[in-house]
Amino acid sequence: MIKALYFRYILKLYLKNFGLVLLGVSLFYIIVDFATHFQKLSNSINLQILYIYYTFLYGIEFLYPLALLFGFLLTLNTLISRNELVPFFSSGFRRRDLLKPILGVGIIVVLAGWGVASSPLAYSLQKATSILEGRPTTNRNLFLKWKGKVVSIGKIEPILGNATDIKIFYLSPSSQIVKIASIKTARFTGREWEGKGTITLLGEKEWKSYTTYFHFLPNFRPKVVSNLKKLNSISFIDAYYALRYFKNLDINAIFSILFFKIWTPVLILEIILLLFLSAPIHRRLTNLPLFMIKSSLLGVLGWGVELLLFKFAKQGVVPFYLLGVPVGIITGVVIWKFLKKE
């Protein structure tokens, strides 16, 4: 019963601090970004609101690991300043007991962040950039080879899942064209494309054509196509389909995006573990402001190293797997610290 009360107390305190920090840093990010790009934005109020909305979504996705860190530091500062850790430990609590609500919130938030990274919200930055540059999020004149077919697309709208002027050339095992499908307008249903078009069968003596409404190109996903030439962001699901179905891709760019989204929050959780294991239980045992400054610098440094490695890996300067090196180092330190404390 007592443990449940303490659990709820720490959980409520950490959730409040995390929410306040996340909202604060996201709003600050919006203000700085909007002030920087205000002159480039359209005079349309609707477009400005949409730009702010997409920028806010991207700010949350990008900065939530830091919100986890600073929310924890605020919580830890409150516990130490009020001398609440002493009665906790005097009542038989161990550090692992006090970490459960904090890690519980952290794991749920990270899983939610990965869920967002698997959804269309992963393209918030792309949408905001399109509004800023005054262009629609479309791609034109694409020519791709896919699963034994050559696909020509006049224009594709990845956000809406629409495409126009599609031609599909079906190839035989000897790479001869045996069938051509021409579709003026097509729509992506989530699994496949559908639309009304003309199919031409190329026989040896004669060609036969007929018009029909049909389904074609299963799992040929529009957002994958839209990100092949310029990858600012990609969702986990679209990355899977891109790596599975498309050849000659910039593997380093795709994996650097995935690794940054996966390993950065994991690194922050490990830093939270390390800081809690190193934290004093009473404010008189250390210089609390100095400890908080050092802890903040360590967390920001870890996040910054991941961001720097991501930028280098995305440009092909370093291999993408280097983003896992800081996580491995902090994991070893946390295990050593945990065994020492226990």
Predicted confidence at residue 247, as pLDDT, reads 54
HSE of 294, CA atoms in CB hemisphere, 13 A? 11
Q: Where are the domains of the chain?
A: 2-119+252-341, 136-220
From 60-69, 86-95, 253-262, the region with the lowest mean pLDDT: 86-95
Name residue 63's amino acid. L
pLDDT at res. 50: 87
Query: How far apart are alpha carbons 338 and 259 in whole angstroms?
Result: 26
84 pLDDT band (50/70/90 cuts)? confident
Task: Determine the Cα–Cα distance for residues 265 and 106; give it in Å rounded to an integer.
Answer: 9
Arithmetic mean of pLDDT, 149-175: 80
Mean pLDDT along residues 119-147 = 76
- 265, 222, 256: which is closest to 112 by C-alpha? 265
pLDDT band of 278, cuts 50, 70, 90: confident
Which pLDDT value is given to residue 245? 58
Q: What is the pTM of this model?
A: 0.76
Query: What DSSP state is assigned to residue 52?
Result: H
Of all residues in the chain, the percent with pLDDT exceeding 90 is 29
CA distance 319 to 127: 28
Mean pLDDT of 226-250: 67
What is the structure's pLDDT at 244? 67
At residue 249, does pLDDT exceed 70?
no
Residue 301 has pLDDT above 90, yes or no: yes
Q: What is the pLDDT of residue 42?
A: 77
Mean pLDDT over 214-232 rounds to 66
- Choose between 88 and 182: higher pLDDT: 182
Average pLDDT, the chain: 83
Two tokens, residue 238: 């679209």
User: Going edge to edge, which strands form the sheet with 207-216?
Assistant: 139-146, 149-157, 162-171, 177-188, 193-202, 207-216
3-state secondary structure of 197: strand
* Most confident segment among 78-82, 106-110, 202-206, 246-250: 106-110
Rounded CA-CA distance 252/320 in Å is 6
Centroid of chain to Cα 115: 8
Per-residue pLDDT band at 65 (split at 50, 70, 90) = very high
pLDDT tens digits along 90-114: 777 777 778 888 999 999 999 999 9
